[in-house]
Amino acid sequence: MKTFFKYLCVALAVVLSAQATAHGATPSGNAATGARLAQQCADCHGTDGIAPDDTMPNLAGQKASYLIKQITDMRSTANKRAGLTLSQDIDKEIRSDRYKFTRVGRSNEIMDSVVIDLRDRDIADLAAHYSRLSCATTRALTVPKSPTQAVRCKACHGANGVSRSSVIPNLAGQSEGYLMGRLQAYREIGRELSKKERRRNIMATQARLLRDDDITSLARYFSSLACN
């Protein structure tokens, strides 16, 4: 089983890397410029990239390529909701046909007004800024025992919650409430998708059978790990 997850994650990383390269998503932004742009993000994600609200994600120390992909996806859906289409989005839709088994665009209406006017360079600058921040937060004195279900997460996100892939996010030190919310959302998606559709959403497939106590223990465990 572990071997299966390992090869599944290798395939996912290759695909996402190809997607990132296809629309210029490289972590080569200007961190200083990104720091100025990030001032508008501070209320939710903290001035140091550590969210003051447990239900919001910490961005400090996160993978730059991953941040670029997520912000780019949110910008795409924001434009679609506004009835607009970016030229790069048209190309992205064409490219996504090659990778439908993993292609899941991120959507967050709260973020629409923040990301809708960002240029590719702005996104790269923001990613460079946050990826260079220290992700260190106050850690729990004791780390809970690794939940049985964590093996599913570690295959892609790393044995200690720090991913080896530039396009798969770190989970270590992430906000507990945020991790719970994301897993609950993925579980609901997974339960609604057909068997064929699940192949396009790996996270929904992994989360669909999680119980409430599984989600709680996974979120508590990964949030308590040292992020670096």
Percentage of the chain modeled with pLDDT above 90: 61
Rounded to two decimals, the pTM is: 0.80
Mind listing the domains of the chain with CATH numbers? 2-224 (1.10.760.10)
Summarize pLDDT for 73-106 with one digit per residue, the tens.
999 888 888 887 654 544 454 444 433 333 446 7
Radius of gyration of the chain (CA): 17
- C-alpha dist (Å) from residue 181 to 10, 17, 40, 167, 185: 26, 26, 23, 21, 6
Answer whether residue 26 shows pLDDT above 60. no
What CA–CA distance (Å, rounded) separates 26 from 127? 9
Ranges of beta strands (E only) in the chain are none
Give the 3-state secondary structure of residue 129.
helix
